[in-house]
Amino acid sequence: MGDPHLGHQLVSGLRGFDSVEDHDHQILANMARVAQPDTIWWHTGDEAFNGWRGRIAAFAEIPGTHHLVLGNHDRAFPANSNSYKYVADYLEVFASVQLAARISYEGRRLLICHFPYDGDTTGRGEERFEQWRLRDLGAMLIHGHTHSDQRISHSTRGTVQLHAGLDAWGLVPPTIGDVLAEAELL
């Protein structure tokens, strides 16, 4: 699941909420509703903004094991100034903090990154954050970042990109099984 943007006034307004508090409450309630004690959460970044330390602490209250793949808005993301100073704060909540992950699910190898391989451009058609994207070698990718309602896309190479961001799932965090089923890959 990606892009909760807790504490982010602009995003909460774009998502139709009157206040950041209402937005954050709904995101956390949706997570709690689908969580099980053995849930393994893969957060695809952009977790929290104003008051971010207290806001990410709320994830620790949601059952399961939480892993963070950093997004460009997370303080520990290496493009941000002094990012190394914030890693310990994230490790108080998340079992791991990394730029990308490789996992196996039902025998399928998957990569997880905040960014899609490609397809996120500026108004001038230039790809954004290229230096932080994974190289597309054909492995299926689960990502966040785009805030699109499009769940499935293909890179310019034709590789499947699966969007796990909350905006694509009605603000309800999808499981990896949900994401793969959407792509008819299970």
**86 Cβ partners below 8 Å, 6+ apart?**
74, 75, 76
* Residue range 155-186, pLDDT digits in tens: 999 999 999 999 999 999 998 888 988 887 75
Q: Tokens for 41, please give them.
A: 């959460």
pLDDT at 129: 87
* Residue range 89-126, pLDDT digits in tens: 999 999 999 999 999 998 889 999 999 999 876 667 77
Q: What percent of the chain has a predicted confidence (pLDDT) above 90?
A: 84
Domain covering 9-182: architecture = 4-Layer Sandwich (3.60)
Whole-prediction pTM? 0.94
* Residue range 37-72, pLDDT digits in tens: 999 999 999 999 999 999 999 999 999 999 999 999
- Parallel, antiparallel, or unpaired for β 100-105 and 65-69? unpaired
State the DSSP string of 110-143: EEEESS-SS--B-TTSPBSSGGGSPP-SS--EEE
Q: Tokens for 5, please give them.
A: 């943007």
